[in-house]
Structure 1
Amino acid sequence: MFALPATAQDGRRMLTTEEAERWTGVGRINIEGSGFCTGALIAEDLVLTAAHCVFHPRSRRMVDPDRIHFLAGWRLGEVAAHRKVRSIMVHRDYDFDSGEAFDRVQRDIAVLELEEPIPVNIARPFAREGRPKIGQPLAVVSYARDRSEAPSIEAPCATLTVRDNAVIMSCEAEFGASGSPVFTYNRGEPKIVSVVSAKAVQNGQRISLGMTLDDGQLQQVITDITRGNAFFEIRAPGAGTINEQLGRGTGGSGLFRSVGN
């Protein structure tokens, strides 16, 4: 049984060793030469994250899967399980170069297929749930730039509104938290309702945004990857960081910024 942890005044704190053992299904996604994001198991061999995490910002191409590592439960140099990625599938309509940031948020999901499954007794996958209600308490578990070596939790934050296929939340995501699972609690069990895609400021309040998972879009991505429809492009040589993916294109509002490292 999961309990909603108490939270520090800043809204986000590092999980204790005991707490972290219950969240080993969340892990750090390391991209060789390009920083990291956060992801969560949704099956023994599938990891949910943000689509922009798997694109190189300079080449504008998808990163080669064999350069991606999933570190389940990574905490202070120890890991519950380490797996390389076999294949990547992003939302069919996701466009990394789209000029409209809000449109990208609504399609910003990817599923990574691991080379080998992680047994559930080591890291348990999370179930998903439909779009959250306005005001519904949420929790975000993430690896961020200032706390990259251990998972932190922000709880409770809340759903501010749901607009089209985007969830706007009071959660204060930090850089590195892209792809972090957003949880709601149903009878004490955490279920994923969104994935952190971007952060913004609205009326002086720091907020974060992610895609809803309730209209079959995630299931289509899962179906594509399990049927062998996954694809990737070999990225061009050169290294870089996966930061500020959103709000960079011309024609966008410039309001949103991704929280990739």
Structure 2
Amino acid sequence: MAGLPGATARRPVRRLLLPLLLLLLALPAAAQEGLPHPLLPGVGPQDPRQPVDVAARPWRGLGRVQRETGGFCTGALVGAREVLTAAHCLVSPRSRQLLRPSSMHFLLGYERGAYVAHARVAAFRVAPGFSPQNSGPASLDWAVLVLEAPLGPADRILPLMRELPPPRTPLMLGGYQQDRPEVLLADAACRAIGRVSQPGGGALLLHDCAGTRGVSGAPVLAQGPDGAWQVAGIASRVGMQVALGAAVPAASVAAEER
């Protein structure tokens, strides 16, 4: 991923970082319906996203988190029966309460109505301190879904990165997005910007990966020392008119799950 063509030319977001932070940290990626501008939130004027092969690594570990009440997010297999996603994806937009686990499904390798495997959600764990009433704080916006049946094999399971990737680390972000919900769209040429601390503790991983509504819960991927792709973060918030996002560091989830 070294020398990514065009990456610098289409990434002016670092100069805009400070004025956009308040927007980033206030708006969950799945809760931005009806924004009054023509640009897709989190994507910007130049759209780098492309469909990817759901049978290829590392995308073969991703699937749609489907709610019976309507709507979807993206999730990643992190265990044979465990899916990592964003906690705000489990919140009812009407009651502002967590949904019943049995009202959610995980469709592994979803593409155009077909999928490799399916399981209903039996239970879930959200980050201690996460509030469904305000879908925050942003640094706690993660959840682990426990499926009724295992969907592995092991080559579909994505490991969690134990450390935050440093700035300029090459990243990828792929998910099921509301402008093209039937295919897995990915920005495969983006980078880490850095870490931002949150009031009251916790941190977020800032990145310039393009992704819009529906990408919530998708894994922000980085390569480990062995070259294999790992989950560096969980997509949570997006910018308004540029390719800019904030993710919960996977290291925070790994520390809590131990």
TM-score bracket relative to the smaller structure: 0.7 to 0.9
Q: Does 158-167 or 65-74 show the bigger shift?
A: 158-167
- The question of 1:174 aligning with 2:212 is answered yes
Partner of 1:90: 126
Partner of 1:199: 238
Q: Report 1:33-72 matches (<5 A).
A: 33-72=69-108
Contact 1:7 1:155 (C-alpha < 8 Å) held by counterparts? no
- In the alignment, the residues of structure 2 paired with residue 17 and residue 140 of structure 1 have an alpha-carbon distance, to the nearest angstrom, of 13
**Once the two structures are aligned, what percentage of the paired residues are identical?**
30
Q: CA deviation digits over 1:169-209, x for unaligned, max 9?
A: 101221111101100012331100101101114xx743111
Q: How many residues align?
A: 211
> 2:183 aligned to 142, 150, 157, which one?
150
Q: Does 36-45 or 145-154 show the bigger shift?
A: 145-154
> 1:14 aligned to 32, 51, 62, which one?
51
Q: Please report how far the alpha carbon of residue 160 of structure 1 lies from its aligned counterpart in structure 2 after TM superposition.
A: 1.2
Cα RMSD of the aligned pairs, angstroms, is 2.5
Amino acid at match of 1:211: V
- In the alignment, the residues of structure 2 paired with residue 124 and residue 7 of structure 1 have an alpha-carbon distance, to the nearest angstrom, of 30
- In the alignment, the residues of structure 1 paired with residue 140 and residue 131 of structure 2 have an alpha-carbon distance, to the nearest angstrom, of 8
Q: Give the unaligned 5+ runs of structure 2.
A: 8-45, 198-202
Partner of 2:34: none
> 1:190 aligned to 225, 229, 238, which one?
229
Amino acid at match of 2:160: R
Q: CA deviation digits over 1:52-73, x for unaligned, max 9?
A: 0001011011111111000000
Partner of 1:240: none
Q: Does 75-84 or 21-30 show the bigger shift?
A: 21-30
Partner of 2:250: 213
- In the alignment, the residues of structure 2 paired with residue 6 and residue 76 of structure 1 have an alpha-carbon distance, to the nearest angstrom, of 30
- The question of 1:125 aligning with 2:157 is answered yes
Q: Residue 205 and residue 117 in structure 1: after superposition, are their counterparts in 2 closer, same or farther (change >3 A)? A: same
- The question of 1:104 aligning with 2:142 is answered no
SS in 2 for 1:184: strand
Q: TM-score, normalised by structure 2?
A: 0.75
Contact 2:92 2:99 (C-alpha < 8 Å) held by counterparts? yes
- In the alignment, the residues of structure 1 paired with residue 55 and residue 61 of structure 2 have an alpha-carbon distance, to the nearest angstrom, of 14
Q: Residue 22 and residue 180 in structure 1: after superposition, are their counterparts in 2 closer, same or farther (change >3 A)? A: closer
Q: CA deviation digits over 1:3-36, x for unaligned, max 9?
A: xx999972110014664x7522100010002200
Q: Please report how far the alpha carbon of residue 92 of structure 1 lies from its aligned counterpart in structure 2 after TM superposition.
A: 0.5
Partner of 2:10: none
Q: TM-score, normalised by structure 1?
A: 0.74
Q: Residue 150 and residue 205 in structure 1: after superposition, are their counterparts in 2 closer, same or farther (change >3 A)? A: closer
Q: CA deviation digits over 1:220-251, x for unaligned, max 9?
A: 2x46xxxxxxxxxxxxxxxxxxxxxxxxxxxx
Q: Residue 22 and residue 195 in structure 1: after superposition, are their counterparts in 2 closer, same or farther (change >3 A)? A: closer
Q: Give the unaligned 5+ runs of structure 1.
A: 224-261
Contact 2:178 2:214 (C-alpha < 8 Å) held by counterparts? yes
Q: Does 10-19 or 177-186 show the bigger shift?
A: 10-19
Q: CA deviation digits over 1:149-172, x for unaligned, max 9?
A: 111111111111211210111012
